[in-house]
Amino acid sequence: MSGASVEARNVSPPGLALDDMEAPSGLSGRVRLFLFALAAVLIAEGIGNVTIPLGSSKIVLLPLLWALLAGATIGLAAPRLPGVLKVSLAEQRLASAFLQPALLIFIAKLGLLVGGSIPKIMSAGWSLVFQEFGHFFGTMVFGLPVALLLGIKREAIGATFSVGREPSLAIIGERFGMDSPEGRGVLAEYITGTVFGAVFIAILASLVASLNIFNPLALAMGAGVGSGSMMAAAAGAIAAQQTPEMAKDVATFAAASNLITTTIGTYFTLFLSLPFTIWAYGKLEPILGRCRGAAPAQGTVEAPTEAPHSEVRLGILAILAGWVLIGAYGLIGNWITYKTPVDGQVIAGMAIILGAVLAGWGLYLATARKLPAVVWVSMIGMALTYPANPFAADIAAVTGKINFLALATPILAFAGLSIAKDVPLFRRLGWRIVVVSLMANAGTFLGAALIAQFFMHKPI
């Protein structure tokens, strides 16, 4: 979900470690969690693609969305289920902890797609460069006026200067403190993205793509919001309405945009987005917020002020086992939905993907985590299929048998399983700040797509 986004987000009380919870932990908890995830994947792939017509437009709901909803339903129904079917708080936290490593499998697959398409990406020219301004200013342009019209005060700065990824929490926390209006605003954006981000962006992207007013590649660049799960949901919704060849290009350009957003995002939000949003708030608040009976700042968002953080630490063996199982779940979806039997070539393709993940993770640790793991994994994936690599064609052939959407489904299942723990905090947020957060998420997608469309100058 936003800014993660659904990525390994935890907003539970600090100091509560895994062993403190009244729930299965250790190996038994992990086995149960992966069985729940498998159930969500099977449900999602069994439902398959569902198209909802809306006049001349349509919304395509993919298995990855069903997996998210199935996982969330399993978690939310836990209090009313018998013990053996109950997803405990410990397992929800564990699902969140597994989410970030799981995303690397999807990132590796996208890197493999990008490598062979680097000449095509370069041909996009300035559109790929300047669309990033849409990602980082679109949140404010779309979200800030709505926030002020709804009577929200300085919480609007924290909620609209970015899509609220973890670096955004750190930036606001250091500048204003999490107990400030700005801190409560960014935390609201963070939690809203966790609960609704992937679902919202998938439906929005599907609807916009069906209107046929944007070049699909411009929409793909808009999908690279810097959140792996949101990017997967948006790119999948766009790709589902394209030809198979264009669908690959959509995934490629979304991955390239997401990589740029991930690598420069912290610096861009710190030195450009936040100062500009503060300036815009000062100019617009006297106009749009005038004579509006806004609730006091302290009451706008009542969520706890601690920054979300994870208390679950996964060992390397748990991560390795998770990668193998999640990869296997992806192959199940690849077989059910995309009709590709699990043969030797498909297994070899998955082995290459997991090898890229392992190598990238190793470089991430070896370099003292100075660059995000997604950067290393993406670079290795791109190097493997870059045209100058003599083995690029063979690698692309075997990894190409695995649809990138099939790998997104198990990842969104884990995201769904992790959501239930955040619902109590979500209920404590004011509805106005939730609307603003969703507008910010829409802004980063539409803003980047509009700029990319302008620079591409290509007929649809």
DSSP letter string, 187-207: HHHHHHHHHHHHHHHHHHHHH
Phi, psi of 10 (to 5 degrees): -130, 130
Q: Which amino acid is at 300?
A: T
If you average pLDDT over residues 35-43, what whole number do you get?
95
If you average pLDDT over residues 358-378, what whole number do you get?
87
Please check whether residue 420 is in contact with residue 92, taking contact to mean a CB–CB distance below 8 angstroms. Answer: yes
Considering the chain, what is the average pLDDT of its residues?
A: 81
Kindly tell me if the per-residue pLDDT of 320 is higher than 90: yes
Bridge partners of 53, per DSSP, are 58
Kindly tell me if the per-residue pLDDT of 191 is higher than 80: no
Q: Token pair 């797509």 is at which residue?
A: 449
Nearest one of 440, 422, 443 to 432, comparing CA atoms: 440
Bridge partners of 52, per DSSP, are 59
> Band of the pLDDT at 27, cuts 50, 70, 90?
low
Alpha helices by DSSP H, 367-430:
373-385, 392-399, 404-419, 423-427
Q: Nearest 10 degrees: CA dihedral of 169, 173, 176, 180?
A: 80
Alpha-carbon distance 353 to 412, whole Å?
18
Residue of higher predicted confidence among 388 and 21: 388
**Other Cβ atoms closer than 10 A to 245:** 8
Nearest one of 189, 410, 379, 222 to 300, comparing CA atoms: 189
Between the alpha carbon of residue 251 and those of residues 130, 135, 145, 450, the distances in Å are: 19, 17, 32, 18
Alpha-carbon distance 399 to 380, whole Å?
14
Q: What is the predicted pLDDT for the residue at 16?
A: 32
Element (H, E) at 345: helix 344-366
Alpha-carbon distance 92 to 97, whole Å?
9
Alpha-carbon distance 254 to 128, whole Å?
10
- Residue 31, both tokens: 């086995």
Across the chain, which distance is largest between two alpha carbons, in Å?
68
* Percent above pLDDT 70 for the chain: 82
Structure letter (DSSP) for residue 273: I
If you average pLDDT over residues 318-333, what whole number do you get?
94
Length of the chain: 460
Please check whether residue 242 is in contact with residue 216, taking contact to mean a CB–CB distance below 8 angstroms. Answer: yes
Please check whether residue 194 is in contact with residue 258, taking contact to mean a CB–CB distance below 8 angstroms. Answer: no
Residue of higher predicted confidence among 430 and 77: 77
Alpha-carbon distance 328 to 330, whole Å?
5
Phi, psi of 392 (to 5 degrees): -60, -45
Residue of higher predicted confidence among 229 and 431: 431
Chain segment 242-282, per-residue pLDDT in tens: 998 899 899 888 888 887 776 666 667 778 888 999 999 99
Q: For residue 168, give every residue at least 6 positions away whose Cβ sits within 8 Å of its Cβ, in sequence order, or none.
A: 3, 161, 162, 186, 189, 190, 269
Q: Is the pTM of this model over 0.85?
A: no
Bridge partners of 61, per DSSP, are 50
Chain segment 410-446, per-residue pLDDT in tens: 988 988 888 787 777 666 667 888 899 899 989 999 9
> Band of the pLDDT at 293, cuts 50, 70, 90?
very low
- Residue 9, both tokens: 């987000």
Nearest one of 451, 418, 155, 441 to 305, comparing CA atoms: 155
Bridge partners of 54, per DSSP, are 57
Chain segment 84-136, per-residue pLDDT in tens: 788 888 888 888 888 878 888 988 998 898 888 777 777 766 777 788 788 88
- Residue 88, both tokens: 């405990």
Please check whether residue 174 is in contact with residue 451, taking contact to mean a CB–CB distance below 8 angstroms. Answer: no
**Other Cβ atoms closer than 10 A to 41:** 30
Alpha-carbon distance 403 to 407, whole Å?
7
Q: What is the predicted pLDDT for the residue at 184?
A: 77
* Percent above pLDDT 90 for the chain: 31
Q: Token pair 């250091």 is at which residue?
A: 174
